[in-house]
Amino acid sequence: EQAGKGEYDHFMLKEIHEQPVSLSQAIEGRVDPARGRIALEEFGPATFEGVESVQLIACGTSYHAALYGSLALNRAGVRARALLANEYSVGAPPVDENTLVIAVSQSGETADTLNALRQASAEGAATLTVTNVVGSTAARVADETLFIRAGPEIGVAATKTFSSQAVMLVLLAQRIADDVRGGPGADLESLLTELSRMPAAIDDLLSSTNARSIARRYEGCQSYFFIGRGLGFPVALEGALKFKEITYDHAEGFASGELKHGPLALVTPETPVFAVFTGTEDEKTLKNAEEAQTRGAPVIAVCPDGHRAVDVADAHLEIPDTDSMLAGLFANVQLQLVSYHAARLLERPIDKPRNLAKSVTVE
């Protein structure tokens, strides 16, 4: 097992550092910035032409990627929502043949997700799975498949598969919008250029990060909060999930604007707030962070250098100034590293957290 970890002490750290490679693999041959086009050759022409709405179903970290994808679809002008797969049987919105149901699952074997996928299929929806595992059950059950090509992920806490899922869903969103509306939803040139720069930019982030000193600085606090708006919201949820999974400390993610509607009652000098800035209504998020800071909470701004939040916050985790569709994914890498170092200080069994399994094949 040590051999498989190479120079790293844990698979999780190795897999965080593999993200430049896993993302290159994900986008290879699929983006063409020079011609401003997305090539998802696995789908025939106009595969998504009749799609009127999209439902994304998933669990855990994959649910956060699904939420990210649903926001990308909405931004592209396609009706979409993300649903927890384990809630699907009791509260799914109705589907018909014009509904595309996308199951997002790293393993392709999560029982909750497979059940929801089968239900959607039985009710007549078109189905697609976004997965890492060729030959997985989800890949066999769904009508269409999009592989994220992240390579094997051993650490129970998902890292590199999250970024690849999110990136593939952003690409898929543009492709669906193109089929449905006759044009991609986003500024494709900027998106594809930034996407092709992303692996190198993550490499830079990994070699310059101060995540370890941030983890040390806030060690022993009572609770850790993560806030974000728009595409920063799923990143905040994922930041908190990762943190609780491997440190066993309490962590919670909130939509920035929701902090004042309840969670603010929990904020004290013992509750650091990680604020994710993705370039969408950042002034509002900064105001929300300041509301926590006024109550004594240290604020860690996850944003580009030179951002106004850097002057206001108590600490800074830097991300590059990039397309707003991708900024949150850089923030996510910084937060993965904070969780890793926090868990390491606590000497937790990082790759195999108590009570958790890599893939949950029971309901």
* Active site residues per annotation: 358
Q: Which stretch binds ligand G6P (CB under 6 A): 56-64, 94-102, 232-240, 326-334?
A: 56-64
- Interface stretch with ligand G6P, choices 3-11, 32-40, 42-50, 150-158 (CB under 6 A): 150-158
356 contributes a contact to ligand G6P by CB under 6 A:
yes
Binders of ligand G6P in range 158-187 (CB under 6 A): 158
- Does the protein bind ligand G6P through residue 280 (CB under 6 A)? no
Q: Which one of residues 25, 47, 113, 285 is an interface residue with ligand G6P (CB under 6 A)?
A: 113
Nearer to ligand G6P, 86 or 256 (CB): 86
Does position 110 interact with ligand G6P (CB under 6 A)? The reply is: yes
DSSP string, 291-352: HHHHTT--EEEEE-TT-HHHHHSSEEEE-----TTTHHHHHHHHHHHHHHHHHHHTT--TTS
* By the rule CB under 6 A, 154 interacts with ligand G6P: no
- Position among 22, 47, 99, 107 found at the interface with ligand G6P (CB under 6 A): 107
Spatial separation of the C-alpha atoms in residues 129 and 148, rounded to whole Å: 10
Member of 19, 47, 99, 105 binding ligand G6P (CB under 6 A): 105
Please, which residues have CB within 8 angstroms of residue 347's CB and are 6 or more apart in sequence? none
Binding mask 61-100 for ligand G6P (x = CB under 6 A): xx--------------------------------------
Near ligand G6P by CB under 6 A, which window of 189-197, 199-207, 209-217, 351-359?
351-359
Cβ neighbours, 10 Å, residue 40: 17
Which one-letter DSSP state was computed for residue 35? G
60 binds ligand G6P (CB under 6 A): yes
User: Least distance from C-beta 356 to ligand G6P, angstroms?
Assistant: 5
Closest CA to 142 of 55, 60, 77: 55
19, 106, 209, 256: which one contacts ligand G6P (CB under 6 A)?
106
Number of residues that bind ligand G6P (CB under 6 A): 17
- Reading across the β-sheet that carries 53-58, which strands appear in turn? 80-84, 53-58, 99-105, 126-131, 144-147
HEC profile of 81-144: EEEEHHHHHHHCCCCCCCEEEEEEECCCCCHHHHHHHHHHHHCCCEEEEEECCCCCHHHHHCCE
Counting Cβ atoms within 10 Å, is residue 41 exposed (0-12), middle (13-18) or buried (19+)? exposed
- Selected binder of ligand G6P within 156, 167, 205, 289 (CB under 6 A): 156
What residue ranges bind ligand G6P (CB under 6 A)? 59-62, 105-107, 110, 113, 156-158, 356-360
